Structure 1
């Protein structure tokens, strides 16, 4: 893991259903109740074979004290029970060596005599480039690991990672343990593989940011496969928590984090995190997840779902290096661009938007827009059952009507006019009707929504799923997930 400009250091992850625990190693003094001590002093004697029985890495040239990197079995350092891999050597026989280079410390140890007194302190954030082993060959099974965890993520360690013998004195006992560094509650947390605000993806790394702003730091993995597996597992747990907390009575179909491309982006801030929610007839855009009823009234923007258009961007349509993107064109014709972290999240969003639009079209059945035809004020009704109905605004007299199946083509000028091409049922001839609207894009999107709903009715699987949604008051998207398994409990180091 990396925090800010610090060197990366080794951590352990534990993923539960509702929380991600980040752990670091520390050496704890155990005397009844455990407590933490910053420094330890131990005296060991040099052996004829093997010397003090330890190896060191690091030094001032690496901007850290010299660190114990290996402790030989059955040698004095190991038998003392007071020295651990990862201990930084602060003093040797009273000589302060914190700022010594590696070779200088080696020389001091060589000249230390047959007995040496070391003052050490465990470096919890030892730079990962030192490649220190994470445990000292412990093979006991960890009873805390959930039996459903996949074996490749199990690192067989006990609560006490050091297998060293205890010192002969009945005084203090020391253990190297994994201790909690940070707890990230997963409800409404967001994931990010990208450098904040940019389209640059980190290599085999991501961050987890809690709803209160607490950040995991950059979590790096050895391989892309491990990174993706953990990303999907955490995303799956977040999704499960979100679904669990969606109140049926509110009619929420979708809630989740996205990154929105800034319209007038400066070089260092191309994207900003936003929280989208599909509820009832509306798409809401928030800067933070809505928790209270009052929060729903404070959305940055809201749109009627059947008057906006959602488009999943193909690779050839992407605006930059960001993947898994979609656009939303509003009723005014404005285009908004969003990205999500995973392809499965894109699929979930697409299906949720389709469901929300279908349910709303099914609910309202028809929508009427004011328009002008041949300089006369008219009304155009888009009716789910009948199709298109045009009537005089003053007398309400119907001038013409066509079924959806009779629409053979259409075009618009991008400003206000739509030209419809309908086929006469009797003569089979094409009849053109040109109407002018003050809200062109809203009308176009509404027509598209009604057509999509008609097509969806021909899909048995969709009809079955929307039937469930109607009876429960919320769309059934449980089959869509970044991982079909139940929420995961995982360990990895």
Structure 2
């Protein structure tokens, strides 16, 4: 087939970034963790749990074990000369010893006030609450009361328990069932040689044609949409970062999942893959909102960050914020805005041309090409060497500031480029900005004009006292409070002339001067916005 003269289509299909793998899902309430299967699609992350399903035969029996039902355990006299009550007491006594979780944290078992015990069957662990002992309800009894009841129970003890946390899949088999299909998957219950109803270690009988058959399958348990979702490596209630796990939050923070991986590299790969999908969905939302907005109210960028507490408030913990660069303002929200009403209720807003964006000092890489790859978005390291977070600050009027942390180096570069572009567009839109100030005891109006530069005029007569271009500004100094000295070069005499002004909000004025000069340079050099921002910060 000849392709000569064929035209390239207007748009090419973009492959959906998807992947799958296995991780540990950590429970924040009980501290338990269990294997899950992760399936990442373009729009959502699906978490699958291993469960037992009936694949063939008649309907499963109703007497099955599940987290909502109770199961019985009977201790009978054994040939070792130890009674069932003695074995039960010894079993619960063993539960008082320390155990070590998968994350290395040592916990105490069997000492909880509500009487919750962690049982261990080979490598499988689940949490249960004793419901009855020989028919006596012990759900509201303390640990000591349950132990006393076991000691005086006699030779045979029947304990009914209620499962509280994730139950192993093999415990969900109906009582008396033949077990899982050995041709499909092995059963941990029968492989362990331990049975809940007695110590019979003989293999189970072969299932008949009418008996149900069971097998393990990965079933969808949680589906987290990635639209406006956020990821964080930060530990809850702490500023420390996790090395091999992260937390994924739904947009409304109603559900979250802590995912732990075998290595930091694998955790980094998953973090970048999820963050990339979130970023693509965010860009699509920005395009849709911009189509229905005026040219003066366009969104340049928005996304989640973590706001670090200021030095003046060390007792404050970090909090997540949703930032947006839209139109003339820099928005700070507690949660993503959904409708027009939400956009009108931000936590804080600032004028873009009066805000200064500052990237915190980056590490000094041994290889200068590493920094270049970072700026180009080719380097995928989620954090700096040594564990220092990736942060930027927003400096506003009256010396105030906000410090934000991002998860990936590419996020830091994106925020820097987007901020420079948003300020450039806003300065071009407003054209000029005037501030009231005092000079030599007189009230004057100081004006920044994108086309003509600096000017100062009398408030009453509107007469222009002096005017200079942006290129004539040779230096400046200020006292950090209200006064600033601007040094201009006279075009005719080539002499330096000093103009001293006093402002009520000096910081906002200095930031505005910086924004107008940067926008002027960008207008003269088309590649300024593409070649500056983070690359300038790195080289300096």
TM score, norm. by length of structure 1: 0.70
Matching residue within 9, 21, 43 for 2:46 = 21
Gaps of 5+ in 2: 1-24, 72-93, 100-117, 125-169, 171-177, 365-383, 532-540
- What is the aligned partner in structure 2 of residue 310 from structure 1? 357
Report if aligned partners of 1:380, 1:389 keep a CA contact under 8 Å in 2.
yes
Q: Is residue 2:338 matched to residue 1:235?
A: no
Matching residue within 338, 347, 351 for 1:300 = 347
Matches within 5 A, 1:143-154: none
Q: Deviations over 1:276-319 (max 9, x none)?
A: 0110000010101110101111101000000011100014799x
Query: For the residues of structure 1 that align with 2:243 and 2:50, how far apart are their CA atoms?
Result: 25
- What is the aligned partner in structure 2 of residue 442 from structure 1? 508
Gaps of 5+ in 1: 42-58, 96-107, 119-165, 466-493
Q: Is residue 2:195 matched to residue 1:92?
A: yes
SS at match of 1:11: strand
1:275 and 1:39, CA in 2 relative to 1: closer, same or farther beyond 3 A? Answer: same
Q: Is residue 2:236 matched to residue 1:196?
A: yes
Matches within 5 A, 1:374-413: 374-413=440-479
Query: For the residues of structure 1 that align with 2:58 and 2:302, how far apart are their CA atoms?
Result: 44
Q: Is residue 2:26 matched to residue 1:2?
A: yes
Report if aligned partners of 1:253, 1:352 keep a CA contact under 8 Å in 2.
yes
- What is the aligned partner in structure 1 of residue 36 from structure 2? 11
Please provide the CA RMSD for this pair.
3.3
Tell me whether 365-374 or 456-465 shows the greater mean CA deviation.
Answer: 456-465
1:254 and 1:90, CA in 2 relative to 1: closer, same or farther beyond 3 A? Answer: farther
Q: Which has the higher contact order (CA 8 A, sep 6+)?
A: 1
- What is the aligned partner in structure 1 of residue 495 from structure 2? 429
Query: For the residues of structure 2 that align with 1:174 and 1:288, how far apart are their CA atoms?
Result: 45
Matches within 5 A, 1:267-416: 267=315, 269-315=316-362, 322-416=388-482
- What is the aligned partner in structure 2 of residue 100 from structure 1? none
Q: Deviations over 1:117-148 (max 9, x none)?
A: 69xxxxxxxxxxxxxxxxxxxxxxxxxxxxxx
Query: For the residues of structure 2 that align with 1:364 and 1:340, how far apart are their CA atoms?
Result: 31
Query: For the residues of structure 2 that align with 1:201 and 1:16, how far apart are their CA atoms?
Result: 26
Query: For the residues of structure 1 that align with 2:363 and 2:439, how far apart are their CA atoms?
Result: 39
Q: Deviations over 1:452-490 (max 9, x none)?
A: 11121233335799xxxxxxxxxxxxxxxxxxxxxxxxx
Shift of 1:6: 2.0
Query: For the residues of structure 2 that align with 1:241 and 1:395, how far apart are their CA atoms?
Result: 54
1:23 and 1:93, CA in 2 relative to 1: closer, same or farther beyond 3 A? Answer: closer
1:86 and 1:342, CA in 2 relative to 1: closer, same or farther beyond 3 A? Answer: farther
SS at match of 2:273: helix
- What is the aligned partner in structure 2 of residue 459 from structure 1? 525
SS at match of 1:233: helix
1:291 and 1:285, CA in 2 relative to 1: closer, same or farther beyond 3 A? Answer: same
Report if aligned partners of 1:29, 1:36 keep a CA contact under 8 Å in 2.
no
SS at match of 1:174: strand
Shift of 1:211: 1.3
- What is the aligned partner in structure 2 of residue 476 from structure 1? none
Query: For the residues of structure 1 that align with 2:42 and 2:401, how far apart are their CA atoms?
Result: 37
Tell me whether 450-459 or 282-291 shows the greater mean CA deviation.
Answer: 450-459
Matches within 5 A, 1:163-202: 167-202=207-242
Matches within 5 A, 1:151-166: none
Report if aligned partners of 2:353, 2:426 keep a CA contact under 8 Å in 1.
yes
Q: Is residue 2:265 matched to residue 1:225?
A: yes
- What is the aligned partner in structure 2 of residue 262 from structure 1? 309
Shift of 1:90: 10
